[in-house]
Amino acid sequence: MPATDWGFSVTPEELESWIVHRDSDLLVVNKPGGLVCHPSKRGPWSSLVGAAREYLGVERLHMPSRLDRETSGVVVFALNREIASRLQKAIERRRVAKIYWALLMGSLAAPVVVNQPIGPAEGALVAARQAVREGGRESVTEFEPLAAKGDWTLARVRPLTGRMHQIRVHAAWLGHPVAGDKIYGPDERWYLEFVTRGWTAEMQRALGVSRHALHCGEIGFPDHLSFHAPWPDELADYTGLRP
């Protein structure tokens, strides 16, 4: 994605290279980290949905679920309202299985299920920050270590609920935040610094990875409909770890 002073601009060739599946009902792409899903004021090619609409030549696409800007991986678009409704109902009924891979800080020795409620973090400097807290919404996440190297653990993560920032919040609560996480990592002030100054040498030393190392590797819908996206080379090259 060509870099600009405000973010990234997608090219048609790039979007085409991200396509995992395409038919008359669905467009499935492997979103790179750093690209927003929802429309941006910077024009259609500055967001995933805007670029997809331009590429397909359609006015509307339905996105039953999305990924955060820095999270990479599978994103599914429905090309018509009927399919969108079916997918949304499956998500609401918890009939959709999502598998993520995450590079965690530290050594996670064994599989663990985190069943801790999540809600807005009190006194946070970043307005969107969430936290494990009393009175929060039910949130359940499964973590399974796959491989370890140095100060990192590559984990398979399955969120059983769909709360905002759920994986990142639960990973931080475990004491193993997602590598490169500017909000839930060592200090949320890195996020504020990043917003104003961009990526700096100080952040490189403190966080290592320029974006949080979280990737949606698989989405499975009812009727054996599933889509996959490989662990990004940029993250594999950083530690040498692969799922």
CA dist 228 and 165 (Å) reads: 21
Among 148, 154, 184, 187, smallest CA distance to 166 is for: 184
Q: What is the DSSP string of 122-173?
A: TT-SSTT-EEE-TT-B--EEEEEEEEEETTEEEEEEEESS--TTHHHHHHHH
Among 68, 37, 195, smallest CA distance to 10 is for: 37
> How would you classify residue 21: left for phi > 0, otherwise alpha for psi between -120 and 50, otherwise beta?
beta
Q: Is 68 a catalytic residue?
A: yes
Coil, helix or strand for 26? strand
* Candidate list 5, 23, 25, 68, residue with the active-site label: 68
Name the phi and psi angles at 136, rounded to 5: -75, 180
2 exposure class (CB count in 10 Å sphere: 0-12, 13-18, 19+): exposed
Could you give the residue numbers annotated as active site?
Answer: 68
